[in-house]
Amino acid sequence: MKHKLATPSASDTPVVSFSGVWKRYGVIVAARDLNFSVQPGEFLSLLGPSGCGKTTSLRMMAGFDQPSEGEVYLEGERVNGVPAYRRPVNMVFQHYALFPHLDISDNIAYGLRQRSPRPSGEYIEKRIAEILQLVRLEGFEQRRIWELSGGQQQRVALARALINQPKVLLLDEPLAALDRKLRREMQIELQNLQRNVGITFVLVTHDQEEALSMSDRVCIMRDGEIVQIGSPLDLYDRPKNKYVADFVGKSNFFEGHVKQVNASYIDVQLDCGVTISTVPSVEMDQHHAGSRVSVSVRPEQLILARDEKQLPEDCVIKLKARVLNRIFLGEHTEYLLRDESLGEFLALSPRQNEVSESPFETSEIVHVAWGREASLVLGDD
Amino acid sequence: MRSKWPERLLLLPATVWLLVMLVLPLAVVLVFSFGERGPAGGYVPAFTLAQYANLPARFTAFKNTLTLAPLGTFAALIVAYPLAYFLAVKANPRVKTILLVMIIVPFWTSILIRTYAWIFILGGQGIPKLLAMGGLEGIRLINTPTAVLIGIIYGYLPLMVFPIYVSLEKLDKRLLEASEDLGSSPLRTFRNVTLPLSMPGIATGCMLVFILLMGEFLVPALLGGGKVFFIGNALVDLFLQSRNWAYGSAVAATLVIVMLVVVSIYMKLVMRGTNQRKDMSLL
């Protein structure tokens, strides 16, 4: 969907904009016709497995790589061919890339000292103090890089980039080197930081949880192409295809073909013979009777009950399944179920449901149902 | 407490070796330097400072060594750094392997033979003739300090290239991107990041080449044609030709002292330059 802006003004100009960008390395295509833009103050994540083109895209924003075809714009200005050191963007590198021969304050001041005319020593010192306060590292000026923990090095890397007040801050898997707990903390810290400084962030990650929890919008990529861009909620609730549905959260997929396209829903006949009523995740007109489709059902949308009477009335499917496995996840319990015709599938049951009744046991037969809104018929891959 | 005996036992061979092969000869040199020359050469025990008083007679050798050794070291550095940089940063793996082999292979032949080759290259039928064909007549290379310098650069280049190559190879290339990202042009990135981080390699290379150059005698003997004399040549002459062991010992002892002074000043400067560095890979 494209938005037409009624009155374009300076603040409406996207900070970063890709227009038909291709990147080829010999016969390998690393980026394929990329078109997207990043709005001022936005937190955008590029999400995908390794080799999907997300890092190449980031490097084209930074100026380390130049597009083979198409245009890259920074604040409306075409920057093709402009080297990294002349671009008003900064990057937080995957393994921080802090200078080992400089102390913390010299690392942080590096960018300011490259400017011409060079800012005064007083000004630089003042800015260092401010930025160290922002990343909560007061008093670390004279420390050496190897004296810091991973989390602290991460914050120095952030400070070193942010002190230059870049138009966009590019983050290349910045949290990959941290342990799980620290990563959680840094995610929250990064989000707060982004709100406080109001700088546009573009994050590259292969961690879907990271992308979904931090960003305003997520751009899902595969094989150098953008598969879908949208808010985390959009991507979760309206995945364009099986790839997105699978990448963003867990899902059960059932294959089948379209039996009938109705006004607001689609009847799909699953390969096991069951016909269910589904809603499309993309435009209705993409689907035609007879075409092969996948139906996605999120595990948490399944309703489980011991007694059939407890299931809601308006379900599109009701069946009995055997519990194969049970995984306790704290606030949820995940069940692996098996139905004669549907095969194996996952269900996620909230804890409070199980407080009244005891949790289901392995090899117990349970009643399963879901509503029409829960079954999404996906677009082509 | 853990027994220290195994450690001591393992260190014994090295200790004995150093005592017998280094400390003892040095002591002998020191003792001899205060002695006198025997009537038929060799050494006669005595205690006199006459040999040291006579040192100015060999002033030229000291002067040549103390100018050409630092100059040679510097020249080797200037030639080696770009080569090491190209090998470590720019060259693709294939070119890199070929070049590394080309640097190492000459070592399979004796330095003596390789330096002989330079006599012909620098001699009348070599480069000067080529230059004469190009109109530059009357250039003399062989038996000049320039010839010695060229020979030194040629012979010592690998010793300079490898330590620098190793330090540049270790250099995290992402640091160069980080510097560029922070607004540093490639030239300033080299000055701000590459050069400081390759300092340990430069320091090691310079140290190796300088120490060996101070004792050099082959290159000046062959390419200097007896006109460019190093201390090493003076020592060969004194011990083997004129058999003046006492005087030779005084010259040798002085060389050792000069080296100790120069090297310790150098070490101090290097240590100050790279102090607080955790990865001190010096020597």
Looking up residue B200, the CATH number of its domain turns out to be 1.10.3720.10
* Residue B282, pLDDT above cutoff 70: no
- In a mutational test of the B interface, the residue from A85, A95, A142 whose CB has the highest number of chain B CBs within 10 Å is A85
pLDDT at position A260: 87
Structure-block tokens of residue A321: 């399944």
pLDDT at position A211: 92
Q: State what percent of residues in chain B have pLDDT above 90.
A: 65
**What number of C-beta contacts closer than 8 Å exist between A and B?**
67
Contacts with B, A 135-154, CB within 8 Å = 144, 146
Q: How many CB atoms lie within 10 A of CB B59?
A: 9
Q: Mind listing the pLDDT tens digit for each residue in B12-27?
A: 999 999 999 999 999 9
A90, A99, A101 ranked by CB distance to B181: nearest: A90
Which of A272-276, A362-366, B33-37, B257-261 bottoms out in mean pLDDT, i.e. has the lowest? A272-276
Tell me the chain B residues in contact with residue A98 when contact means C-beta distances shorter than 8 Å: 178
Judged by DSSP in three states, A238 sits in coil
pLDDT at position A8: 41
Q: Mind listing the pLDDT tens digit for each residue in A201-229?
A: 999 999 988 999 899 999 999 999 999 99
Q: Return phi, psi of residue B91, to 5°.
A: -65, 140
Q: Mind listing the pLDDT tens digit for each residue in B142-184?
A: 898 999 999 999 999 999 999 999 999 999 999 999 999 999 9
Judged by DSSP in three states, A230 sits in strand
Domain range for B71 is 24-273
CB atoms B177 and A93 under 8 Å = yes
Q: How many CB atoms lie within 10 A of CB A128?
A: 20
pLDDT mean over A122-140: 93
CB A239 within 8 A of CB A296: yes
Q: Band the pLDDT of B107: cuts 50, 70, 90.
A: confident
* Residue A1, pLDDT above cutoff 60: no
CB atoms B188 and A114 under 8 Å = yes
Which of A217-231, A344-358, B178-192, B209-223 bottoms out in mean pLDDT, i.e. has the lowest? A344-358
Residue B15 inside a domain? The answer is no
Structure-block tokens of residue A160: 């070193």
* Residue A282, pLDDT above cutoff 80: no
Peptide bond before residue A100 is cis, with ω within 30 degrees of 0? no
CB atoms A64 and B278 under 8 Å = no
The total of structural domains in chain B comes to 1
**What are the CA-CA distances from residue B271 to residues A198, A206, A359, B154, B283 (Å)?**
44, 44, 68, 29, 12
CB atoms A114 and B197 under 8 Å = no
Residue B19 inside a domain? The answer is no
- Residue B212 C-alpha, separation from nearest chain A C-alpha, in angstroms: 30
- Residue B267 C-alpha, separation from nearest chain A C-alpha, in angstroms: 19
A62, A101, A111 ranked by CB distance to B183: nearest: A111
pLDDT mean over B184-206: 94
pLDDT at position B275: 54
Give this complex's ipTM: 0.82
Q: What residue in A sits closest to B197 (Cα-Cα)?
A: A101
Q: Mind listing the pLDDT tens digit for each residue in A234-274?
A: 999 899 999 999 888 889 999 999 998 888 888 999 888 88
Residue B9 inside a domain? The answer is no
pLDDT mean over A336-344: 90
Structure-block tokens of residue B61: 């050798």
- Residue A94 C-alpha, separation from nearest chain B C-alpha, in angstroms: 9
Q: Band the pLDDT of A360: cuts 50, 70, 90.
A: confident
pLDDT at position A280: 85
- In a mutational test of the B interface, the residue from A64, A82, A114, A131 whose CB has the highest number of chain B CBs within 10 Å is A114
* Residue A5, pLDDT above cutoff 70: no
Q: What is the pTM of this model?
A: 0.81
CA distance B26 to B22: 6
CB atoms B180 and A90 under 8 Å = no
- In a mutational test of the A interface, the residue from B173, B181, B191 whose CB has the highest number of chain A CBs within 10 Å is B181
- Residue A99 C-alpha, separation from nearest chain B C-alpha, in angstroms: 7
Q: Minimal CA–CA distance to B169: which of B93, B75, B231? A: B93
Going by C-beta distance under 8 Å and a sequence separation of 6 or more, which residues neighbour residue B117? none
Average pLDDT taken over every residue of chain B: 89
**What are the CA-CA distances from residue B140 to residues A120, B129, B230 (Å)?**
55, 10, 20
CA distance A221 to A235: 13
CB atoms A84 and B185 under 8 Å = no
pLDDT at position A353: 66
DSSP letter string over A192-226? HHHHHH--EEEEEES-HHHHHHH-SEEEEEETTEE
Element (H, E) at B256: helix B245-273
Q: State what percent of residues in chain A have pLDDT above 90.
A: 57
CB atoms A97 and B172 under 8 Å = yes
Q: State what percent of residues in chain A have pLDDT above 70.
A: 96
CB atoms A146 and B180 under 8 Å = no
pLDDT mean over A75-88: 94
Say whether residue B7 is in contact with chain A using an 8 A CB cutoff: no
Tracing tokens 């969907």 back to the chain, one arrives at: A1
pLDDT at position A63: 95
CA distance A133 to A108: 12
DSSP letter string over A42-93? -EEEEE-STTSSHHHHHHHHHTSS--SEEEEEETTEE-TT--GGGSSEEEEB
Contacts with A, B 177-196, CB within 8 Å = 177-186, 188-189, 192-193, 196
CB atoms B182 and A111 under 8 Å = yes
B178, B184, B278 ranked by CB distance to A97: nearest: B178
Residue B147 inside a domain? The answer is yes
Residue B121 inside a domain? The answer is yes
Q: What residue in A sits closest to B174 (Cα-Cα)?
A: A97
Residue B14 inside a domain? The answer is no
DSSP letter string over A93-114? BTTB---TTSBHHHHHHHHHHT
Which of A18-22, A107-111, B12-16, B264-268 bottoms out in mean pLDDT, i.e. has the lowest? B264-268
CA distance B27 to A319: 99
Candidate ranges A66-80, A367-381, B234-248; pick with highest mean pLDDT: A66-80
Tell me the chain B residues in contact with residue A63 when contact means C-beta distances shorter than 8 Å: 181
Q: Mind listing the pLDDT tens digit for each residue in B230-259?
A: 999 999 999 998 899 999 999 999 999 999
Distance of CA A72 to the CA centre of its chain: 22
Tell me the chain A residues in contact with residue B179 when contact means C-beta distances shorter than 8 Å: 99, 110
Q: Minimal CA–CA distance to A258: which of A297, A289, A294? A: A289
Judged by DSSP in three states, A328 sits in strand
Tell me the chain A residues in contact with residue B177 when contact means C-beta distances shorter than 8 Å: 64, 84, 91, 93, 97
Average pLDDT taken over every residue of chain A: 89
Q: Delineate the domains of chain A, giving CATH numbers in brackets.
A: 10-237 (3.40.50.300), 251-381 (2.40.50.100)
* Residue B273, pLDDT above cutoff 80: no
Q: Mind listing the pLDDT tens digit for each residue in B58-102?
A: 999 999 999 999 999 999 999 999 999 999 988 999 999 999 999
Tell me the chain B residues in contact with residue A93 when contact means C-beta distances shorter than 8 Å: 174, 177-178
pLDDT mean over A31-60: 94
CB atoms A114 and B276 under 8 Å = no
Distance of CA B27 to the CA centre of its chain: 24
pLDDT at position A3: 42
pLDDT at position A6: 40
- Residue A35 C-alpha, separation from nearest chain B C-alpha, in angstroms: 24
